[in-house]
Amino acid sequence: MRHGKKFNHLGRKSAHRNSMLANMSCSLIEHKRINTTVAKAKALRQFIEPLLTKSKLDNTHNRRLVFSKIRDKNAVNELFREISPKISDRPGGYTRIIKLGNRLGDNADMALIELVDYNETYDLSKAGKKKSTRRGRSRRGSKSKQTQQTNQERSNPTKNTDESGNEDTKNE
């Protein structure tokens, strides 16, 4: 029985899986976003988020811990020099997974995994004003302006409005 064993093995032996996740981590650190399957993206998120947390504090011990997982000196240097200052104030959730649909060849679920702080489309600090939430119209009282104008015209037959909206009153 496999009670409590939630880790996704991805159909690979442990050495192959660890090498694959280390290579994907290096690619994510280098390119800031990669395309992969949804299962691999979720496994990569579990693999890389603790490493990103360790990179917040730049000391020899944390560098050696991260290097033992990634085994790429250039990726470790980029992680500690460039990425960690950007994520230093974030309390977790450093990656985002966006589902892309199915792959043509084998119909596998594809996803884009990216570092949250390196995406400009979701950056709210540059947007300036926060967009307000949309409210649904109430079903009782609100009517469109055209409906209100036509109802006013019906109720006041003495007033006529021309095309420009000017009112002409008739004296009868």
The end-to-end CA distance of the chain, in Å, is 94
Give the long-range contacts of residues 79-83, CB within 8 A, separation 24 or more: 79/29, 79/51, 79/52, 79/55, 80/55, 83/29, 83/52, 83/55, 83/115, 83/117
Of the candidate ranges 57-66, 86-95, 123-132, the one whose mean pLDDT is the lowest: 123-132
Looking at residue 146, what is its pLDDT? Answer: 62
Name all domains of the chain by residue range, CATH numbers in brackets. Answer: 14-118 (3.90.1030.10)
How far is residue 103's CA from residue 52's CA, in Å, rounded to a whole number? 29
Beta bridge partners of 99: 111
On the question of pLDDT at 58 being above 60, the answer is yes
Q: Band of the pLDDT at 133, cuts 50, 70, 90? A: confident
pLDDT of 170 over the 60 cut? no
Sheet containing 109-115: order of strands = 33-37, 109-115, 95-102
How confident is the prediction for the chain on average, in pLDDT?
86
Per-residue CA distances from 2 to 5, 6, 7, 8 (Å): 6, 9, 11, 12
CA-CA-CA-CA torsion sign (26, 29, 32, 33): positive
| Backbone phi, psi, residue 109, to 5° | -70, 125
pLDDT above 70 for 103:
yes
CA distance 20 to 143: 59
Q: 82-86, 101-105, 166-170: which range is least confident on average?
A: 166-170
Q: Is the pLDDT confidence value at 132 over 60? A: yes
Residue 135 has what pLDDT? 73
Q: In the prediction, which pLDDT does 147 show?
A: 61
Distances (CA, A) of 75 to 32, 63, 95, 155, 165: 11, 11, 17, 75, 68
* 154 has pLDDT over 80: no
Token representation of residue 143: 């009517």
Query: Length of the chain in residues, anyone?
Result: 172
Give the confidence band of 167 by pLDDT, cuts at 50, 70, 90. Answer: low
What is the model's pLDDT at position 12? Answer: 97
User: What stretches of the chain adopt beta strand conformation (E)?
Assistant: 33-37, 95-102, 109-115, 159-161, 167-169
